[in-house]
């Protein structure tokens, strides 16, 4: 994955075929994809891995299993929130709708 990430970044920096606006959009999409990849790794696979390996070292897992359920429930909203916050057009659209709806 690291090799692919560096290859994509290198291509985006050195490409003469893209306009500056297109390059910025591609960077934003790449950052969003990287964050959307990191969230499941941490919240889903990290919790599952910890539940498998923590008992092997002799620690009590009862309290941790409650946190695991909470972390797993955060995955879906965080995944959507990443798209809204990291893509400028979505962020501006949500902001404009929010200002219209909550205008006093």
- Examine the pLDDT at 104 and tell me if it is beyond 70: no
pTM over 0.75: no
How big is the CA angle at 85 (ends 2 and 47), to the nearest 5 degrees?
55
Q: What is the DSSP letter of 42?
A: I
How big is the CA angle at 29 (ends 98 and 48), to the nearest 5 degrees?
90
Q: pLDDT digit string (tens) for 3-36?
A: 877 787 787 777 778 788 888 888 888 888 888 8
Q: pLDDT digit string (tens) for 57-76?
A: 888 777 777 777 888 888 88
Residue with tokens 């959507």: 80
12, 27 in Cβ contact below 8 A? yes
Q: What is the structure's pLDDT at 16?
A: 77
């Amino acid at each position: 994955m690291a090799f692919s990430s560096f290859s994509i970044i290198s291509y985006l920096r050195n490409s003469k075929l893209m306009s500056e606006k297109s390059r910025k959009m591609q960077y934003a999409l790449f950052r969003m994809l990287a964050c959307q990849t990191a969230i499941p790794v941490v919240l889903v696979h990290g919790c599952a891995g910890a539940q498998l390996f923590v008992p092997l070292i002799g620690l009590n897992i009862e309290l941790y299993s409650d946190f695991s359920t909470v972390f797993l429930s955060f995955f879906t909203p965080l995944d959507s929130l990443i798209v809204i916050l990291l893509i400028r057009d979505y962020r501006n659209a949500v902001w404009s709708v929010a200002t219209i709806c909550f205008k006093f």
